[in-house]
Chains A and B, each alone.
Chain A
Amino acid sequence: MSTAGGIIRALNSGIKHLAIRRFTLRYPEQKLKFVGDGFQFNPETGVGIAGLRGRHILYHEHCTGCQLCSVACEGIAEAIGMVKVNETWKQNKKAIMPQIDYGKCVFCGLCVDACPFYALYMTNDYELSSFTKSALIYTPAQLAIKPKISQDVEIKIDDRGATHG
Chain B
Amino acid sequence: MTTQLPPGIQLEKIDDRIMTLNVGPQHPGSGHMRLIIKVDGDYIVSCDPDPGYVHRGEEKMAEYRNYIQNVPHLERPVIHDSSNILYPYCLAVEELLGIEVPERAKYVRVIAAELNRCIYTLYWLAIYGIFLGHSTMFMWPAGDRELFIDLLEAMSGARVTHAYLVPGGVRNDLPANFEERCLRQVDYFEKRLKEYQAVFYKNPILISRTEGTGILSRTDAIRLGTTGSVLRASGVNFDIRKKEPYDVYENLDFETVVMKEGDSYARSYVPYLEMFESCRIIRDAIRKMPKSGSVRTKLKPNPKGGNEEVYKRVESGRGALGYYVVSNNRPEPYRVKISVGSFRNLICMPYLLKGELLGNMPAVYWSLNYWPVEADR
A: residues with CB less than 8 A from B are: 1, 3, 6-7, 9-10, 12-14, 23-24, 32, 34-36, 38-39, 41, 45-53, 72, 74-77, 106-110, 113, 122, 155, 157, 162
Contact = CB atoms under 8 A, between A and B. Distances in A.
A7 B207 CA distance: 11
Interface in B269-299: 294-299
Given A35-B176, A51-B175, 20 more contacts: A1-B204, A3-B204, A10-B200, A14-B199, A23-B146, A24-B143, A34-B153, A35-B154, A35-B175, A45-B298, A46-B296, A47-B294, A48-B172, A49-B173, A50-B174, A52-B158, A77-B72, A106-B72, A109-B157, A122-B157
A100 to B, nearest CB: 15
A155 B205 CA distance: 34
B65 interface: yes
B147 A50 contact: no
Given A39-B157, A155-B147, A162-B147, A76 B69 contact: yes
A109 B195 contact: no
A50 B181 CA distance: 15
B155 A50 contact: yes
Contacts of A74: 69
Contact of B298 (A46, A77, A109): A46
Contacts of B174: 50
Interface of B: 64-66, 68-69, 71-73, 136, 143, 146-147, 150, 153-158, 161, 163, 171-176, 184-185, 188, 195, 198-200, 202-205, 207, 294-299
A157 B189 CA distance: 10
Contacts of A50: 154-157, 172-175
Given A34-B153, A39-B157, A106-B161, A47 B202 contact: no
Contacts of B143: 23-24
25 contacts: A1-B204, A6-B207, A7-B204, A7-B205, A36-B175, A45-B294, A45-B298, A47-B294, A48-B173, A50-B155, A50-B156, A50-B174, A50-B175, A52-B157, A53-B158, A74-B69, A75-B69, A106-B72, A106-B161, A108-B72, A109-B157, A109-B163, A110-B69, A155-B147, A157-B185
A131 to B, nearest CB: 24
A76 B172 contact: no
Contacts of A1: 202, 204
A105 to B, nearest CB: 11
B173 A108 contact: no
Contacts of B155: 50
Contacts of B66: 75
A141 to B, nearest CB: 25
A13 B198 contact: yes
A157 B147 CA distance: 10
Nearest to B61: A75
Given A23-B146, A49-B172, A162-B188, A107 B68 contact: no
A49 B171 CA distance: 8
Pairs of residues from A and B, 9 with the lowest C-beta to C-beta distance, nearest first: A48-B172, A46-B298, A53-B157, A6-B204, A13-B198, A50-B175, A108-B72, A35-B175, A3-B204
A47 B157 contact: no
Contact of A51 (B71, B157, B163): B157
B296 A13 contact: no
B171 A113 contact: yes
A4 B63 CA distance: 59
Contacts of A9: 198, 202
A73 to B, nearest CB: 9
Nearest to A23: B143
Contacts of A155: 147, 150, 185
A109 B171 contact: yes
B64 A108 contact: no
B188 A157 contact: yes
For B72, B73, B136, B296, the residue with the greatest tally of chain A CB atoms inside 10 Å of its CB is: B72
